[in-house]
Amino acid sequence: MRLLRWGAIASLSIALIACSGSSKVRKPAELVNITNQVELAEVWSTSVGSSVPANFRPVVADDHLFAASARGTLSKLNIQTGRVVWEVSVPEKLSIGPGSDGKITVVVSSEGNA
C-alpha cells in the first residue's frame, strides 16, 4: 500500500514537471479596424415602468413589442410607431418579463402565478 502511494506521488510529480516545460507562447492576432456597415438611429422610445433589466427584456412577435414592468404593467406596442396597441395592469408584482408568440402573452408574478 505504501509503495502504491509513493508510486502515485512520483507519477503525479513527473506529470506536473512534464507539463510545466517551456513551450512557444502564441501571440494574439493583430487587431483589425472595423467600420460600421449600418448606421442606427433611434426611431421611438417609451417607458412601461421600472424593472430589473436582466429579468424584464421586451420580446418581439408578429411585428409587435411586448414589455412589462415589475409593478404589473404589460404593454403591446406597434414596433414601427411605438404606439400602444393595448395595456393591462396585473394585480400582482411581476418577477419576469413577458413571453409571447404574438397570440398568447404570458408574464409570471412574484408569487409564481402566470
Question: What is the dihedral angle through the alpha carbons of 42, 86, 90, 112, rounded to the nearest 10 degrees?
Answer: -70
Q: Is the pLDDT of residue 5 over 90?
A: no
Spatial distance between the Cα atoms of 90 and 107, rounded to a whole number of angstroms: 9
pLDDT-derived band at 1, boundaries 50, 70, 90: low
> Which range, of 6-10, 70-74, 82-86, averages the lowest pLDDT?
6-10
> Which range, of 39-43, 68-72, 85-89, 108-112, averages the lowest pLDDT?
108-112
The predicted structure's pLDDT at residue 60: 94
**Domains plus CATH for the chain?**
59-109 (2.40.10.480)
The predicted structure's pLDDT at residue 77: 95
Q: Please name which of 37, 76, 44 lies closest in space to residue 60, comparing C-alpha atoms.
A: 76
pLDDT-derived band at 19, boundaries 50, 70, 90: low
For residue 96 the three cell numbers come to: 419576469
Q: Is the pLDDT of residue 85 over 90?
A: yes
